[in-house]
Amino acid sequence: MTATSHRGTPEATAAAGGAARNQSGSPRRPQAPGPGPYPWVMAGSIALAVLGAALSLNGVLRGWAWFMPLITTVVAVSLALAILRALRAQPLLATLGSFATLAGVLSFIFARQDSLAGFIPTTGTFTAVGRLIKRAAETVVSESAPVAPNAGIVFVMCACLGLLVILIDALAVPLAMPAASGIGLLAVMVVPATIKPQSVGMAGFIGAAVGYLLILGCSHWFAPDARLQSGSGRGAGQFRRSVVTGGLALALTMVAPLAIPGFETGTFPQGSRLSPWGTSNGLNPMITLGNSLRSPTGSGRITYATSSSAPVYLRSVTIDHFDGETWAPDDRAAERRVGADRIETGYAVQGEVVNAVTSVNAGLFTSPYLPAPFAPASVNGLNGRWTWDPATLSIMSTETTTRAQRYVVFSAAPKVTAQALSQATTAPSGISEDFLRIPGSLPDIVRQTADTVTASAGSNYAKALAIQKYLRSAEFTYSLQAPVQNGYDGNGLSVLADFLAVKSGYCVHFSSAMAVMARAEGIPSRIAVGYAPGRLTGESVALVGQGSFPEYEVDARDAHAWPELYFEGLGWVPFEPTPSRGVVPEYATESSVAGNLSTNADEKEVLTTPAPPATAPVPIPGVETPAAGSASVNPLPAIGATAAGVLLLVGFLWSPRLSRTVLRRRRLNRKPPDEAEPGAPGFTDPAPELAWAELQDLATDYGVPSAPSETPRHFSARLRSSTALGDIGGIDDAAHAAVASLTSDFERQRYGRQAAVAPAAAARIAVVREALRNNARWLVRFRADWLPPSMMQRWVHALGAPFRAVGTLARTAGRAVARWWRALRGLLPLRR
Amino acid sequence: MSATANCWVVWNGQAANTGSFVATVATAEGHFMESKRQVTVEPSPLQGEAYTALPRDGAGLNGHKPQVMDAERFHDASERILGSINKVIDGKAEAAKLALTVLLAQGHLLLEDVPGVGKTLLAKTLARTVDCTVSRIQFTPDLLPSDVTGVSIYNQSSRQFEFRPGAVFANIVIGDEINRASAKTQSALLECMEEHQVTVDGHSYQLGLPFMVVATQNPIEMEGTYPLPEAQRDRFMARISMGYPDKDAEIEMLETHQASSPLVKVTPVVTASDVAAMVSTVQQVYVSTAIKEYTVAIGRATRDSARLRLGASPRSLLQLLRAAKATAALDGRDFVLPDDVVDVAESVLAHRIILDRKAASSGDTPQSILRGILASLPVAQEPPGAWRRDRHAV
């Protein structure tokens, strides 16, 4: 019978989702109903998800300038999709239209001059695009995060994310696989996860997650899956299932990193970052330096022993070109000379030369640049072909790396004293002009700062000291995180300007600041990258012909950069502007200027003066040096604050219990208002209803929550049959009777005629409460007392009120816009 | 008359000349049904008399309104009826209660199941326990509307037309295999059901009270049937499937029903006026605003459901509420609870709603969808805000 009755029925109109929902009840309009708000909401969700995921790219690209073109692209493509879907174009047509929109938007943003009418691509546009892609490729190959947002990389990003919008839309709408659209978002986030030291970041994660949930919710709402069972998604089973799934996923994220090598520390959702390449893959050591410093475990351990009494900086490479957006070592491949066993400085040095022998074991440290103390005269024991640059004395190999190299460096550095430095006033000669060239686009702040700081200094040496003193002053703080957080991690002139404004950074920033400011003041300078003096390992190494010397070790955490300034007659002299790192050389300390001119005549003393600074504990990187410490003397405020904090905490912990008790009292002890006489028409005694609410909350507290779709009788039956109330006929019989009578009172009051005044409910509630308490385990009892679930739900509900209000507002606005859109569509000629 | 003679109509007339109901031929009924090649038209006691159109006077019972029963007597009467039915039909207490509910709510009942599960037995037992007139119509394709409603014939001796009432003139009318009759005949019966009167040759004849049609139909045999269209199914207050009895009930049935028909032992336990009083008691049951809101919410939920092509009509909501009132009265209450509505919702609504094709192909039934709706619909028709519930408290 059932089957036949359906046989003759008219075919349902094949309108999807929301249209079917609206059909029943309302008469059919002459024009076929549109797809409703679905395309708009879906396109909005997709745009939100993609833009949210793109938030995580901050840090891969510097600053926020790239975000505007991105918004334009993503919104334009989403809008095109929404319009085409709202007009019910074929799915393929909608996708093609969005591709056309993407091409148009990209042409408009990036190749306006080469395009027809500004947005129609021509052959010229393709040439321009080719150029942009080439530039992006160069950026990817040569630079490292954060890169400057040049047109090439922004173009590639906009194109990729625009394509992603189309892909997600195709997955979510025509292919009806909204869950799979998460893969696209994941693809966006993989980039920062592998490139940025701080991984995806909270904003990006939340943005992507919110967008993804919106996509899922949207498709669930408007295009429910026919494969799902009937009934509603609000059932307890569904909730339980999602909780279990979520819990499992969370547990997996906790456990999986332990099993996978390469994961380091980190907290959810910042995520343990997978770094499969280790920390020093150093094509550009300057850039990997920050990451090395931030790595919590030191990798690339190097041990060395030296005959030098002064702390030894191991120097890998120098940076002397301060032009361009990112500084990189200049290898000067044409000028390099083969054979590291004989290295010449290339400039004349006057005065005494201090020789030292250093034996280095590079261990697992892998780099094309050889760490060696300055200035190497010869390096013995190397495997492979190594070349050196006469201008910078950096030793490198294009064929092999430092891995597992053991070598002995004979170094010879001129003995530098403050006196000698202050006398070295002749103009530099014998070195390349490169070291003096001031970059063209030097930010004003650098020059101004340099001029201000060195205003009172006369000689080059005094200027250098003034700059160093300025950078080491309390104004500047050492921080590995501040540049990351403020978006100027890395190097380059713009970074330098940011650093001088924020006054917080690490060695890269300090050294480049000093180097650039020195050049601005006419002192030849360069940045040396390598390792600060390390720690004693406790072992000693015998050096041939020199005796036995203590062994030191350095690893990635000791990575360092420092400026070298050129003084005629003394050569390249290192300085130490970075606070709390490294060792300030004797000649560069302020006091030496004051006193050394007269007392520093004895050269032997100078040789032995720096007692054992290398053994001094090197501050652990990552710990910010505290600002000028001010010890609190008065303990009263602290005690007061502690007491207030404890009180607040107690109040906070007590508040659920307190508010629950107050609520119960109010419900049960309420006197009926005097003006309304019982029995008067229109008067309903609220007592049974309040008692019922209390009973429901009690049951919720003890683990039998009531469902909104449950009738009072059903709820009462469930409560009585649950274990929470104990067995009927036993000692809890009174409680059962109380529940039954409370239920019948409530039913009578709620659904019956004018009811007689019910007896007071407080006693019965007390009986029920007692029975519930006695039957509950202590954990449940504790929760019911201190964190009553009914109260918690109430609070959560109250907390959600603003969001719900916003949601209602948005829905109303959405409906208004939809009406407007329908009206507009009614004006257009009928399609299809 | 020849048309009438060819079809399987058995009807028992009623004596209305005194104005009171007299059960006349109820005892012979079972006998008629056993052998089909029998006289199909019982000589009516009315034969030869002019059946005049009754004026509509109040409830049509003795000219005065039936008294409202008090709760105890009501409970007593209902217990007697149910007990009597349950003695005959084993293990079908639910169906029996629903049948009584429909009777008290002044609705009509559609029994739909495979042959041989006791559809007709239930109908007949119910009719027999109440001391009132019963007629049974075996629907066939050639049954004419006049066989159901009655016909005016010319009396040669008195030289005027006399009305011979049809089978529908009884308190309980059993329509067997209603889907076998032609659409025309079906609609003749259905018109009587809706309007409680018969109109022949411009005269309207009032039907008695209580009046209830218990129709059965067989969902298996499809050939040569005229399935009731949706609009006509909507006239039945409830549709129930009997279902097979459980093992113990079936064994007991085999034991007790061997020798004689169980119907023989059934004696009337209440009178028609008792039933009329019960009906008016049911009418007095109080329905609060909250219940009305809940009922309307159920109706709206079925209309808004994406899985239903046709939701519940306003008439069905009216009948739902009437059935709920009867349930409440049978439960000994004078007000309706949401539980009463939920109890009868499935039987009352399931045969009126039509599934979406998608839902039907995914294995949903009207019952499962109704259950889903009831499971998700808040009972208190206000937004489920925790603060609202305590508006008195704060």
Interface of A with B in 301-330 (CB under 8 A): none
Separation between Cα atoms, residue B333 and residue A753, nearest integer Å: 11
Cα torsion A545, A549, A555, A560: sign: negative
The answer to whether residue A26 neighbours chain B at the CB level (below 8 Å) is: no
> How confident is the model at residue B21, as a pLDDT?
35
- Where is average pLDDT lowest: B25-29, B282-286, B303-307? B25-29
Annotated domain spans of chain B: 2-279, 285-378
CB B164 within 8 A of CB B44: yes
> Structure pTM?
0.47
| Contacting B residues, span 366-385, partner chain A, CB-CB under 8 Å | 368-369, 371-372, 374-380, 384-385
Q: What is the pLDDT of residues B63-79, one digit of tens each?
A: 455 677 778 888 888 88
- B-chain residues near A747 (CB < 8 A): 335, 337
Q: What is the pLDDT of residue A670?
A: 63
Q: Is the pLDDT of residue A70 over 50?
A: yes
Would you tell me which residues 132-171 of chain B have a C-beta closer than 8 angstroms to some C-beta of chain A?
Answer: none
A317 versus B29: which is more confidently predicted?
A317
Cα(A206)–Cα(A217) distance, integer angstroms: 16
Closest residue of chain A to B333, computed from CA coordinates? A752
C-alpha to C-alpha distances, B59 to A18, A41, A751, B55, B74, nearest whole angstrom: 49, 59, 29, 11, 20
Q: Are strands B109-112 and B238-240 parallel, antiparallel or unpaired?
A: parallel
Task: Tell me how far apart the alpha carbons of residues A493 and B274 are, in angstroms, rounded to a whole number.
Answer: 103
- CATH code of the domain made up of A286-615: 3.10.620.30
**What single letter denotes the amino acid at residue A525?**
S
Report pLDDT digits (tens) over B176-213.
888 888 888 888 888 888 888 888 878 888 887 788 88
**Rounded alpha-carbon distances, angstroms, from residue A125 to A77, A119, A262, B197, B355:** 19, 9, 43, 86, 56
Q: Does pLDDT of A120 surpass 80?
A: yes
Q: Residue B379 and residue A9: Cβ atoms within 8 Å?
A: no
Q: Which of A7, A24, A753 is best to mutate for the B interface (most B CBs within 10 A)?
A: A24
Residue A453 has a pLDDT of 83
Tell me which of A229, A230, A659 to substitute to probe the interface with B (most B C-beta atoms closer than 10 Å).
A230
B91-148 pLDDT tens trace:
788 888 888 899 888 889 888 888 778 888 888 888 888 888 888 888 888 888 888 8
Q: Which residue of A has its CA nearest to B392?
A: A686
Give the DSSP H/E element, type plus range, for residue A742.
Answer: helix A733-751
Chain B 5-64, CB below 8 Å of chain A: which residues? none
Is the pLDDT at A1 greater than 60? The verdict is no
> Smallest Cα–Cα separation from A23: which of B42, B310, B4?
B310
**Cβ A573 vs Cβ A561: under 8 Å:** no
- A420-464 pLDDT tens trace: 777 777 777 777 777 777 777 777 888 888 888 888 877 888 888
CB of A747 within 8 Å of a chain B CB? The answer is yes
The torsion angles phi and psi of A466, rounded to 5 degrees, stand at: -65, -40
Nearest neighbour of A6 by CB, restricted to B306, B337, B354:
B354
What residue of A is the nearest CA neighbor of B216?
A: A1
pLDDT for position B65: 59
Partner residue opposite B335 with nearest CB, options A12, A751, A797: A751
* Residue A749 pLDDT: 83
Q: Alpha-carbon distance B382 to B86, whole Å?
A: 41
Of residues A670 and A702, which shows the higher confidence score? Answer: A702
Q: Which of B230, B336, B386 has its CB closest to that of A751?
A: B336
Report CB contact under 8 Å: A712, B372: no
CATH topology of domain B2-279: Rossmann fold (3.40.50)
Q: Quick one: pLDDT band at residue B1, thresholds 50, 70, 90? A: very low
Q: Is the pLDDT of residue B382 over 60?
A: no
Taking contacts as CB-CB distances below 8 angstroms, the residues of chain A near B389 are 693
State how far residue A797 is from chain B, nearest Cα, in angstroms: 8
Q: What is the pLDDT of residue A344?
A: 75
Measure B162 CA to nearest chain A CA, in Å.
39
| Chain A: closest CA distance from residue B336 (Å) | 7
Nearest residue on chain B to A713, alpha-carbon basis: B339
A689 CB near a chain B CB, below 8 Å? Answer: yes
pLDDT given at position A141 = 67
The CATH number corresponding to B285-378 among 1.10.8.80, 1.10.510.10, 2.70.150.10, 3.50.50.60 equals 1.10.8.80
- Between these two residues, A359 and A2, which has the higher pLDDT value? A359
A508-533 pLDDT tens trace: 888 888 888 888 888 888 888 888 88
Nearest-Cα distance to chain B for A21, in Å, is 5
Q: Is the pLDDT of residue A117 over 90?
A: no
C-alpha distance from A729 to closest chain B C-alpha (Å)? 24
- If you average pLDDT over each of A87-91, A336-340, B326-330, which comes out highest? B326-330
Three-state DSSP at A531 gives: strand
Nearest C-alpha of chain B: how many angstroms from A689? 9
Q: Is A358 helix (H, G, I), strand (E, B) or coil?
A: strand
Q: Name which of A693, A747, A797 is nearest B337 (Cβ-Cβ).
A: A747
- CB atoms B384 and A708 under 8 Å: yes
Per-residue model confidence as pLDDT tens digits over A312-369 = 888 888 877 777 666 767 767 777 777 777 777 767 677 777 788 888 887 777 777 8
Sequence ranges of the domains in chain A: 33-225, 286-615, 660-667+681-787, 791-826
Question: Is the pLDDT assigned to residue A11 strictly greater than 60?
Answer: no
Higher pLDDT: A32 or B234? It is B234
Give the gap in angstroms from C-alpha B373 to the nearest C-alpha of chain A.
Answer: 6
Q: Tell me how close the Cα of B293 comes to any Cα of chain A, in angstroms.
A: 11
